[in-house]
Amino acid sequence: MFWDKKIETMKPKDLQALQFKRLKKTLYQIQNVEFYRKRLAEAGIKSSSIRTLEDITKIPFTKKQDLRDGYPFGFFAVPLKKIIRIHTTSGTTGKPTVVGYTRNDLDIWSDLIARNMTMVGITKNDVFQNMVNYGMFTGGLGFHYGAEKIGMMVIPSATGNSKRQIEMINDFGVTTIHCTPSYAMHLSEVAEEMNTSLNSLKTGLFGAEPWSESIRKTLEKRLGVTAYDSYGLSELFGPGVAFECQERDGLHIWHDCYLVEIIDPKTGDQLADGERGELVVTPLVKEAMPLLRYRTGDVSMLMEDGCICRRGKKIARITGRSDDMLVIRGINVFPSQIEHVLLKIPEVGNQFMVYIDRINHLDEMTVEVEINRNYFSGELADLAKLQKNIVKELRNALELRTTVKLVEPGSLPRFEGKAKRVIDRREAI
């Protein structure tokens, strides 16, 4: 199913021509931003320097820190009176990053969300409950307007009060939900406690944080949905940048709107398809806040073309951030790897926390793990066995010795938005 078949299935040659035309327009428009005028002048880049799409590598990267330095409105390329909404990015220390939208931007953004939802078979006959923050976070209003554009009934339930959320799903016959995978996990626990089955649900759209195949399986089983991964970031409008199709093997990124590169985060060199690195994106249709070669910090790779749905090259699921990779005693660890190990052990519950300390100059990782309610025998011997087993599995997967503490079901923090499961308490070296 297509929202905009012509553009979604464009032939590579036509697509490249469109990308190039849009890149040139972006370069023109970006001259309204003082930061870029200076940057491009310093790099000796004029409009005539960019003759092909490949010439993009001549342009310097834009980093999140650049955007922070431009706080609040330093990256806007249109007069303030043309900006009709702003959002800010979540979860960073210090000042947030501000992103702005013209009416045209909001229209394109909701169109992209409509493409994604249509791609997974959602239609105007669906009933959609949007269980994410409706404030400065882009997930709420972003999905809201996209879903309304398709014409389904939208329930802007936002976050909080999980029992009420579950009642609404049942009372209003909700078919599609959207939330973070961590909240979906929590919701499934509450539904279980309430002994209710959420029969009307068909589709779950989950994103805004990394999640694994094992979480997908668990969520599908517990909530009775087909679960799809949704990727985006505020700097590129918000959600809607890339989304899984019904194949659920990689995410389609909308190449007519986003020029994609994968780079080695250390050298900045472009990597080949199939090589994992940092996703760098040049948005091609943003009016209020165009960006050039934006370093997302997210780790992915470009997959081989050839998806049966004909929507072009996909990116692989995000495995973490190039900057949240943990280096523990010289070993690189992604939090998603820890989750993956834990979820494979049936006696382990859904919640865990990771603490990293430096004790006697050595990094120590402690993992607090909730026991699964259904396996909680209370027998001391069983607990000791389970604890040993988790240590062994973590060592096998991460090649790292960890301390594992088992805690009672329900005792670790639950998250309504993005989960923060790793607390690094080491002093900077």
Q: Which of residues 170-199 bind ligand DLL (CB under 6 A)?
A: none
Shortest reach from residue 387's CB to ligand DLL, in Å:
30
Q: Which of residues 353-412 bind ligand DLL (CB under 6 A)?
A: none
231 in contact with ligand DLL (CB under 6 A): yes
Q: Say if residue 357 is exposed, middle or buried (CB neighbours under 10 Å; 0-12, 13-18, 19+).
A: middle
Binding residue for ligand DLL, selected from 130, 188, 234, 402, defined by CB under 6 A: 234
What's the per-residue H, E or C state across 23-45?
Answer: HHHHHHHHHHCHHHHHHHHHCCC
Q: For tokens 């190990």, name the residue.
A: 341
Binding residue for ligand DLL, selected from 90, 200, 372, 389, defined by CB under 6 A: 90
Binding residue for ligand DLL, selected from 233, 280, 291, 390, defined by CB under 6 A: 233
Binding residue for ligand DLL, selected from 105, 126, 229, 256, defined by CB under 6 A: 229
DSSP bridge pairs for 261: 280
Residues 50-89: x where in contact with ligand DLL by CB under 6 A, - otherwise, as a string: ---------------------------------------x
Q: CB–CB of 301/271 below 8 Å?
A: yes
Residue 78's identity, in one-letter code, is V
Sole window of 11-19, 225-233, 261-269, 339-347 interacting with ligand DLL (rule: CB under 6 A): 225-233
Shortest reach from residue 390's CB to ligand DLL, in Å:
24
d(CA 50, CA 26): 12
Number of alpha carbons in the 13 Å side-chain half-sphere of residue 167: 5
SS3 396: helix
Structure tokens at 406: 């088992």
Residue 367's identity, in one-letter code, is V
DSSP symbols for 161-172:
-HHHHHHHHHHH
Sole window of 57-65, 70-78, 234-242, 303-311 interacting with ligand DLL (rule: CB under 6 A): 234-242
Shortest reach from residue 251's CB to ligand DLL, in Å:
8
Shortest reach from residue 210's CB to ligand DLL, in Å:
4
Q: CB–CB of 1/118 below 8 Å?
A: yes
208 in contact with ligand DLL (CB under 6 A): yes
d(CA 279, CA 191): 37
Shortest reach from residue 242's CB to ligand DLL, in Å:
8
Shortest reach from residue 288's CB to ligand DLL, in Å:
16
| Total binding residues toward ligand DLL, as defined by CB under 6 A | 21
Which CB atom, from 232 or from 290, has the smaller least distance to ligand DLL? 232
Binding residue for ligand DLL, selected from 70, 139, 265, 283, defined by CB under 6 A: 139
Binding residue for ligand DLL, selected from 96, 100, 210, 335, defined by CB under 6 A: 210
DSSP bridge pairs for 212: none
Residue 208: CB atoms within 10 A of its CB come to 27
Shortest reach from residue 180's CB to ligand DLL, in Å:
7
Residues 317-346: x where in contact with ligand DLL by CB under 6 A, - otherwise, as a string: -x--x-------------------------
Long-range contacts of 395-398, Cβ-Cβ distance < 8 Å, separation of 24 or more: 397/337, 397/340, 397/341, 398/331, 398/333, 398/337, 398/338, 398/341
Strand (E) or helix (H) holding 106: helix 103-119
230 in contact with ligand DLL (CB under 6 A): yes
Which CB atom, from 233 or from 400, has the smaller least distance to ligand DLL? 233
Question: What residues contact residue 418 under an 8 Å CB cut-off, 6+ apart?
Answer: 90, 91, 180, 182, 208, 209
d(CA 283, CA 355): 37
Shortest reach from residue 244's CB to ligand DLL, in Å:
9
Q: CB–CB of 2/118 below 8 Å?
A: yes
Sole window of 50-58, 107-115, 223-231, 378-386 interacting with ligand DLL (rule: CB under 6 A): 223-231
SS3 334: coil
Binding residue for ligand DLL, selected from 66, 209, 278, 339, defined by CB under 6 A: 209
283 in contact with ligand DLL (CB under 6 A): no
157 in contact with ligand DLL (CB under 6 A): no
Shortest reach from residue 299's CB to ligand DLL, in Å:
9
- Strand pairing class (277-283; 98-101): unpaired
Binding residues for ligand DLL (CB under 6 A): 89-90, 137-139, 207-210, 229-234, 238-239, 296, 298, 318, 321
